[in-house]
Homo-oligomer: A and B are copies of this chain.
């Protein structure tokens, strides 16, 4: 599970001929070795998106220096670009409530070296998961949510103090205020326990049971200021039938929630997700 040292370059810009040639030409000119490359043009917006993984030691400059060298090209094509360095781990803050299936799953992936992030802390509005989190050597912060405004202010303060890059709502069960969503746009990831846009809001498994659907689902998405309406990163469904009670749906649902969140989060951590309006491009 040793992971090679790589730079990941993601770019978006107006589409036109010659972009790939210009970018790969720049990389080649500096001796860079591309190990993975993905491209996409969004037809509606005529916006071009690309992602490339480059062997870090094949380039003569650091991630920090890259921007300086790349600036003329970026300007010529009106690019928004970002270079991340696999040696610098993103910092993930987990928000949980009482249910711990997603937490348990993500902490296992983290401690087994599959999820390559730092976890500065876990935040919860309940105490019941403290012992499990602390067993991992991770600080656990209890935040009371009776006073919502104070609670969310405290969460934002903890996230900032932890220098968090990603906030994951691992079944946090609290609706974030729009201001917080805007402040951390593109940084907050939620797992919703339905196949969105079906069954928005509370108790989606009850809604699904009531409607008599034959599949249930889960959706990993960026949080936006409209409830359950942010850009979707990943989804999946699972077959059920008439014999399944609401409790069965909840139980099955935990398994898809875990796997959909884990996959979606991984894509984000590896800079595979580019946001295009209210949609995502996911370069798997």
Contact A32:B17 (CB < 8 A) given known A108-B100, A112-B100: yes
Given A101-B108, A114-B251, is A17 in contact with B28 using a C-beta cutoff of 8 Å? yes
A101 to B211, CA, bound (A): 28
Question: Which residues on the B side are within 8 Å of A31 (C-beta)?
Answer: 17
Residues of B within 8 A of A262 (CB): 255
Cβ distance A186 to chain B, nearest Cβ, rounded Å: 15
CB atoms of A237 and B259 under 8 A apart: no
- 8 Å CB contacts to B: which residues of A88-130? 100-101, 104-105, 108, 112, 114
Residue of chain B at shortest CB distance from A250: B1
In which size bucket is the chain A interface?
35 or more
Residues in B whose Cβ lies below 8 Å from that of A282: 214, 241-242
The closest CB in chain B to the CB of A254 belongs to: B114
Q: Is the CB of A104 within 8 A of B100?
A: no
* Number of copies of this kind of chain in the complex: 4
A222-263 CB contacts (< 8 Å) to partner B:
231-237, 241-243, 245, 247, 251, 254-255, 259, 262
Q: Is the CB of B237 within 8 A of A215?
A: yes
| Contact call B279/A212, Cβ cutoff below 8 A | yes
Q: How far is the CB of A62 from the nearest CB of chain B, in Å?
A: 19
A35 in the interface, Cβ–Cβ < 8 Å? yes
The SS class assigned to the A binding surface is: mixed
Which of A19-27, A71-79, A152-160, A172-180 is found at the contact surface with chain B? Answer: A19-27
Task: Render A269-282 as a binary contact track against B, CB cut-off 8 A, 1 for contact.
Answer: 00000001011111
Interface contacts beyond A17-B32, A20-B20, A20-B34: sample of 10 additional A-B pairs, CB < 8 Å, sorted by A: A34-B39, A195-B213, A195-B215, A198-B198, A211-B232, A212-B279, A213-B235, A214-B282, A242-B282, A255-B262
Residues of A within 8 A of B (CB): 1, 17-18, 20-22, 24-25, 27-29, 31-37, 39-43, 58, 100-101, 104-105, 108, 112, 114, 132, 135, 195-199, 211-215, 217, 231-237, 241-243, 245, 247, 251, 254-255, 259, 262, 276, 278-282, 284
A-B contact pairs, 23 of them (CB 8 A): A1-B247, A17-B32, A20-B20, A20-B37, A21-B28, A34-B39, A36-B39, A37-B37, A40-B243, A43-B245, A195-B213, A195-B215, A197-B213, A198-B198, A212-B231, A212-B278, A213-B235, A214-B233, A217-B237, A241-B282, A241-B284, A242-B279, A242-B280
